[in-house]
Structure 1
Amino acid sequence: MSPRSDAARNRARVLDAAQQVFAADGLGASTEQIARRAGVGVGTVFRHFPTKEALLSAVLAARLETLADDAERLAEDPDPGAALFDFLARTVQASGLKIAYADALERAGIGTDEVVAPVRERVTKAVATLLDRAQRAGAVREDVAVGQVFVFIHGASRAVPTITDDALRAATLRMMFDGLRPR
């Protein structure tokens, strides 16, 4: 294996480990914990991510890549309406950590716009495809624009995860979805 492929493999392992450690232990988790989970030395973590903010930025970007992957995969679903609402539900339910990453970066003076810029177009295109297919299938109002879907995701991602009762959280999300459905 070449040194470059070793480095790429180690970087991927560190990113994966960081996501797992942050999810389990919060953003205050140590670099040592991440290195241990990745099976690499602390120096390897710092070689790829010289600061905690660089690591958080990379983790946030990786989460957005996964979001784009999900949207692209769901765009092939035979039930476009179900695919869009499934995507929205999973995105909102998984948003807690993404918000924590973004908030931590903002507090450190790093705008999330620069972090998400490389994947923004891909995510927007994938969500636009999901929306278009759902609208053509009659599952979503025709006057909903892709920008509104992102505002919906943002608002629901801030509100829904704060609801601790599972039944109430699911009912609230269904009620929010009703605003996207044809009248």
Structure 2
Amino acid sequence: MSAVEELLATGAARADARRNVARLVAAAREALDEQGLGVTTREIAHRAGVGLGTVHRRVPSVRKLVAAILADTIDTMIELARQAAAEPDPWPAFTGFAESYVQLRAASCGLHAALAGAGGPDLTEPVERLRAAVTLLVRRAQDAGAIRTDLDAHDVVFLLATAIPAERTLGLLARPEQWRRNLGVLLDGLRNPAVTPASAQFTSVKPPA
């Protein structure tokens, strides 16, 4: 069930009510991406172009709205991991998933914080399902010899999380899509060089001219 469908299940059946809920979900998703888990009812109402009363009528609570949106995205990640696990070539399947996973985390401050356990709604159940799906994907790639066997899924999920850069460090701003450059270096370190060739998409990381 999507975030909109979950909220509509509370009784907002009219077409105008459905439109308002869809606007609120879109506004909350945008605020969550930009501002993180501290998003407020007032901010959501402002972005959606509605009054606070509309938010309170249509949304059980901001916490439930945020939880529904985050659960939607985690479900997307789970499906991506499952699809990758079904691909015939484990290494391209893993790198494709890794790119999508890191990109989704990098695009949303709220999602990144929630997956890091930095407060917010209880997402224990979807996070456990995501962890299981990623673990299966990693083990499949290791069984094929594509990923180093001196690592395990625990190592891999922490490594992927480190691909998301801080906004700045040592007085320098992160480059656009800095996460992609970081991921390229990480993937090159994860692969088994005896079996898996370097990926031109990620590992040919060169300093800009």
Calculate the TM-score normalised by the size of structure 1. Answer: 0.69
Mapping 1:20-35, distance limit 5 Å = 20=30, 22-23=32-33, 30-33=43-46, 35=48
Q: What are structure 2's unaligned runs of at least 5 residues?
A: 1-7, 194-209
Measured after TM superposition, the shift of residue 61 of structure 1 is: 2.2
> What value does the CA root-mean-square deviation take over the aligned residues?
3.7
CA contact under 8 A between 2:138 and 2:147: conserved in structure 1? yes
Q: Distance in 1 between matches of 2:65 and 2:135?
A: 29
Structure 1 counterpart of 2:192, one-letter code? P
Measured after TM superposition, the shift of residue 171 of structure 1 is: 3.9
By percentage of residues, which structure has more helix?
A: 1
Residues 32 and 148 of structure 1: is their aligned pair in 2 closer, same or farther, counting only changes over 3 Å? same
Q: Secondary structure at the match of 1:94?
A: helix
Q: Distance in 1 between matches of 2:135 and 2:113?
A: 26
Residues 129 and 16 of structure 1: is their aligned pair in 2 closer, same or farther, counting only changes over 3 Å? farther
Does residue 100 of structure 2 align to residue 87 of structure 1? no
Structure exhibiting the larger radius of gyration computed from Cα positions: 2
Give aligned-pair identity as a percent: 28
Q: Secondary structure at the match of 1:141?
A: coil
Q: Distance in 1 between matches of 2:160 and 2:139?
A: 17
Structure 2 counterpart of 1:156, one-letter code? A
CA contact under 8 A between 1:141 and 1:182: conserved in structure 2? yes
CA contact under 8 A between 1:92 and 1:156: conserved in structure 2? yes
Q: Which has the higher contact order (CA 8 A, sep 6+)?
A: 1
Calculate the TM-score normalised by the size of structure 2. Answer: 0.62
Q: Paired residue for 1:175, among 178, 185, 191?
A: 185
Query: How many residues are treated as equivalent by the alignment?
Result: 170
Does residue 87 of structure 2 align to residue 74 of structure 1? no
